[in-house]
């Protein structure tokens, strides 16, 4: 049986979402969202395989004397980097026994660390794949637009120079549609395909000197959203024409784009199927 589960997390305390293994075991001292989820899932769900009838929660994965076992594997809709948050990450996992959603969700949330939670558990078809079946991803980036800091700004990026929302929107409009986004990818992009389709790219001012940028696309390249934001800030900071965004896009050259901004303030909001 296959289940889909929605996951929320605060990413600042984790080295991204993806499990990091070395010689078949988690890398010592590196905590990830996937590791914590699989540990909790495997604690609650027993397998019929005698060799895997162990709870990962009871194991010390860094010990050479104990084999690291993953009875339950969590497949994510996509990876998020260190510091990136989620309110709508989707995973799927397989189990041989049916699950009572209300009890399962309560128990999972009791086991998981305080900065990770789950909700909206659904049984899905065996053909469902959290990553491959996804039709779109919705990301939001927030930053503070104020010269002076405030104790309650948290980890959000603070942009000291004033930004013009109307100009930023004109810049973002050039990104709508299907394009080669090579200019906005980091060198760590493994997928050779650089073509993405953006159906939404909007910005607005919110309460407390916050600026919000919402971007929805069928797929995203490594650090793509953060580099788009960095390019927007370069345009505003140097008073460039919004058409500069179009020139960067068409150049298909990473060196033409702005810096990749901090991951703090980036949130995966929703994945649609």
Task: State the catalytic residues.
Answer: 81
Q: Report residue 2 as tokens.
A: 């296959």
Long-range CB pairs of 67-73, under 8 A, 24+ apart, other chains included: 68/24, 68/25, 68/26, 69/42, 70/38, 70/42, 71/42, 71/45, 71/46, 71/47, 72/38, 72/41, 72/42, 72/45, 72/47, 73/38
205 neighbors 213 (Cβ within 8 angstroms): no
181 neighbors 164 (Cβ within 8 angstroms): no
Say what angle helices 101-111 and 33-44 make with each other, to 10 degrees: 130
The Cα-based distances of 190 to 134, 221, 229, 245, 252 in angstroms read 19, 9, 22, 24, 16
């Amino acid at each position: 049986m296959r289940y889909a589960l929605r996951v929320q997390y605060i990413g600042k305390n984790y080295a991204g979402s993806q499990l990091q293994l070395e010689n078949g075991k988690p890398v010592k001292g590196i905590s990830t969202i996937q590791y914590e989820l699989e540990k909790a899932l495997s604690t609650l769900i027993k397998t019929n395989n005698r060799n895997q009838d162990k709870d990962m929660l009871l194991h010390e994965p860094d010990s050479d004397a104990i084999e690291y076992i993953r009875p339950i594997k969590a497949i994510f809709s996509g990876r998020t980097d260190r510091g990136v948050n989620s309110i709508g990450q989707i995973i799927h996992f397989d189990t041989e026994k049916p699950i009572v959603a209300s009890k399962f969700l309560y128990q999972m949330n009791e086991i998981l660390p305080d900065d990770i939670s789950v909700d909206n558990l659904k049984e899905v078809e065996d053909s469902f794949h959290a990553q491959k079946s996804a039709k779109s991803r919705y990301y939001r980036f927030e930053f503070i637009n104020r010269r002076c800091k405030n104790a309650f700004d948290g980890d959000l990026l603070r942009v000291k120079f004033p930004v013009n929302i109307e100009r930023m929107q004109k810049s973002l409009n050039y990104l709508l549609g299907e394009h080669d986004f090579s200019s906005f990818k980091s060198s760590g992009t493994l997928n050779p395909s650089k073509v993405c389709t953006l159906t939404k790219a909007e910005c607005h001012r919110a309460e407390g000197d916050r600026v919000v940028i919402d971007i929805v696309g069928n797929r995203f390249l490594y650090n793509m959203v953060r580099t788009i934001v960095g390019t927007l800030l370069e345009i505003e900071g140097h008073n460039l024409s919004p058409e500069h965004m179009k020139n960067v896009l068409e150049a298909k050259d990473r060196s033409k784009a702005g810096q990749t901004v901090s991951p703090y303030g980036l949130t995966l909001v929703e994945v649609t199927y």
